[in-house]
Structure 1
Amino acid sequence: MTNPAGNPARCLAGIVIYHPPFAALQSLVSSLADDVSTVAIYANSPVSGEQQQALEEAAGSAELMILRPGLNRGLGAAYNAFCHLAKARDSEFLLLLDQDSTPEPGMAAALMATHRRLASCGEKPAIVGPQPIAPEGKKMRLAIAARAGQDEPLRTRFVISSGSLIRLSALAAIGDFRSDYFIDAIDIEWCLRAVAAGYSIWVDPAVPMPHRLGQGVIRLPLGLLLTNQPPRRLYTYIRNQLAMLRLRHVPARHKIKFLVSLPVRLAVYLAHHRFSSDCVAALANGLRDGVLGRMGPPDRALIPVWRLGRNSRATAPRIASDAAATPQRLS
């Protein structure tokens, strides 16, 4: 797949990195070169001058920018930096990517075409994602069920952020990503907020992209699967999902499903991690901070609960509900 116009569209591709395999990063940048006008890299780890030069060569005619925040501010902050940079570049679209994303050349152009086709049919697409493919080659189930073999775009509740293409005009209306979530559920919350604002979320089965969830999956009876995550990620997952229960734009079905599944998730993760002290602390702190609305970096994720102290929450950023929790819109 290639850009049918032969020219890069007004699209900024944003890649978040943290000590990536450099050859893989070069390949990723090269795969985007013909389809986007700008490739921006949010570097949570150092990028040398020699590496930057190699990446500029890989980007070809596309502009390459390296954003150096100085410390790891999380995915939400990185996505928001891309959002504001895309607006400054008068981009029409923003493509979000992880350092381990492996899009085929032409993926961005194909997703832009899908966006425009949906809009021409009277839809209000905020975001279109590729069909994520698990390591074993199977399609991940994200969208509303479709007939076998159907390659038409499918409406869904949310898409995985890696590989997703956002229309800037929709982003301006919906608002920024939740930087206080740091990592986990950022894409879910934004998509649910978009739907509540009258926009739609889509996945295009005709545009595949390999994707690996966490450290793989934990297989349960009856074919059920849970994403395998290290303890620090279990903390942010539990905390952020609990924080989402306060938000009016999160559907009751989503809240009920999470609450019903929570005891099973806790039991499975504890057993899978053999009740390690890190896992116990991460889950306990995730429950506590999610209930209290303590957000931000997962600095306390692995500290035993009894060592946190009664006044520890005083210095923590908190969320209340809805209005106070809604990110500001782009202006």
Structure 2
Amino acid sequence: MSTAVPSGDPQRVVVAVVTAFRPDERLAEVVRSAADQCDRVLVVDNTPTGEPGAQDRIGDVVGVQVERSGRNLGLAGALNLGSGLSRDAWALLLLDQDSALPAGAVAALARHLEREPAIGVATPVPWDAGAGRYLDPRAARRPELADLVVAITSGMLVRRTVLDAVGPFREDFFVDAIDQDFCLRVRRAGFRVVQDRTVPLPHSLGETRWRGWGPLRLRSTQHPTWRLYWAARNAVVLARENWRREPVWVATSLALLGYVAVTVLLFEPPRAARLRAMAHGLADGWAGRTDPAQRPGGPA
């Protein structure tokens, strides 16, 4: 595969699936970067009917198809829709609406899949362009090609046969931890999830702020209240399902959830409502339930 243009090889078709929800002007850059490096680009637009959506942002870009659901299917639903429309792909490149690919990224990731059949997912390293550093500081200490337990969805290059083997993205998770669940299932199926540190992918964590006093500073996520429900619920579900196989990862995941709860308590009003959403999620995760009311069609 060329580093700049689609392969044209029918045996190595790469389809980019870009998920969108009320996208801003960054979507056009994302789509153009994917069209330059993939054989096709499919944008799955979760923007509700009647609102400006993906097509309004990207116009007519050659090789790009927009599939508009008319409602918010959630991240997993959008990925599954895109996957179902890309059966001919050798590999799927998954992208968020704010993650533009650097030149040569797809070719670099594809080489890992071509070279090693045991690699099911190859990912770039998320990069904070504003701060000039890795979003996960542990990346600097890893080898250039590192095996990971989990990786974020945006930038994943997934072998089609692996996706078929492990099954669809988990729609009961709606938005949070979908990538984590998928990677854990990939590993359980005997495939590797690898991260190439030579391929940085600019990525945003949303509205985050460092708050505190002096050296005692914490990063506050500022996620919407409804999303805290999903973060808590899905973390508990994954902990229950994976604590025997991945005890270190589960302990780390729950510690990060506790970190979020502390930042909410200290810095994020309305604190009581936000903590109640997390408690609701914890209870539903433990019981294996889902509250349909927490699936918004409204603000992300």
Report the TM range for the smaller structure's normalisation. Answer: 0.7 to 0.9
Q: Distance between the aligned counterparts of 2:53 and 2:292, measured in 1? A: 31
2:91 to 90, 93, 101: 93
Q: Distance between the aligned counterparts of 1:109 and 1:288, measured in 2? A: 44
**Structure 1's 125 and 300: CA in aligned 2 closer, same or farther, altered over 3 A?**
closer
1:20 aligns with 2:18: no
1:216 aligns with 2:214: no
Measure how far apart 1:232 and its partner are: 1.8
Q: Distance between the aligned counterparts of 2:14 and 2:92, measured in 1? A: 6
Measure how far apart 1:178 and its partner are: 0.5
Q: Distance between the aligned counterparts of 1:163 and 1:211, measured in 2? A: 9
Measure how far apart 1:174 and its partner are: 1.4
Structure 1 equivalent of residue 239 of structure 2 = 245
Alignment of 1:1-331 (within 5 A): 2-3=3-4, 7=8, 9-21=12-24, 23-45=25-47, 46=49, 52=55, 55=58, 57-58=60-61, 60=62, 62=63, 64-87=64-87, 90-117=88-115, 119=116, 124-134=118-128, 135-141=130-136, 146=141, 152-216=144-208, 218=210, 227-248=221-242, 251-260=246-255, 262-295=257-290, 297=292, 299=294
Compute the RMSD of aligned alpha carbons.
3.1
**Structure 1's 50 and 206: CA in aligned 2 closer, same or farther, altered over 3 A?**
closer
Unaligned runs of at least 5 residues, structure 1: 302-331
User: Normalising by structure 2, what TM-score?
Assistant: 0.83
* Paired residues of 1:104 and 1:209 also in contact (CA < 8 A): yes
After superposition, what is the alpha-carbon deviation per residue over 1:60-107, rounded to whole angstroms, capped at 9, x for unaligned? Answer: 3x2x222122211101111111222111xx110101111111212332
* Paired residues of 2:127 and 2:200 also in contact (CA < 8 A): yes
Q: Distance between the aligned counterparts of 1:183 and 1:244, measured in 2? A: 14
Measure how far apart 1:300 and its partner are: 7.6
Q: What SS does the aligned partner of 2:39 have? A: strand
**Structure 1's 25 and 142: CA in aligned 2 closer, same or farther, altered over 3 A?**
same
Q: What SS does the aligned partner of 1:67 have? A: strand
What is the identity percentage for the equivalent residue pairs of Structure 1 and Structure 2?
A: 32
Q: Distance between the aligned counterparts of 2:264 and 2:217, measured in 1? A: 17
Counterpart residue type for residue 239 of structure 2: L
Q: What SS does the aligned partner of 1:239 have? A: helix
**Structure 1's 43 and 169: CA in aligned 2 closer, same or farther, altered over 3 A?**
same
Q: Distance between the aligned counterparts of 2:38 and 2:173, measured in 1? A: 29
Measure how far apart 1:222 and its partner are: 7.5
* Paired residues of 1:11 and 1:86 also in contact (CA < 8 A): no
Relative to structure 2, which stretch is displaced further, 26-35 or 183-192?
26-35
* Paired residues of 2:110 and 2:157 also in contact (CA < 8 A): yes
Q: Distance between the aligned counterparts of 2:294 and 2:219, measured in 1? A: 28
* Paired residues of 2:113 and 2:122 also in contact (CA < 8 A): yes
* Paired residues of 1:236 and 1:286 also in contact (CA < 8 A): yes
**Structure 1's 155 and 48: CA in aligned 2 closer, same or farther, altered over 3 A?**
same
User: Normalising by structure 1, what TM-score?
Assistant: 0.76
Query: Matched residue pairs, number?
Result: 288
After superposition, what is the alpha-carbon deviation per residue over 1:260-308, rounded to whole angstroms, capped at 9, x for unaligned? Answer: 555444233221214534313312221222222222655289xxxxxxx
Measure how far apart 1:153 and its partner are: 1.7
Q: What SS does the aligned partner of 2:196 have? A: strand
Larger radius of gyration: 1
Q: Distance between the aligned counterparts of 1:95 and 1:284, measured in 2? A: 35
Unaligned runs of at least 5 residues, structure 2: none
* Paired residues of 2:54 and 2:66 also in contact (CA < 8 A): no
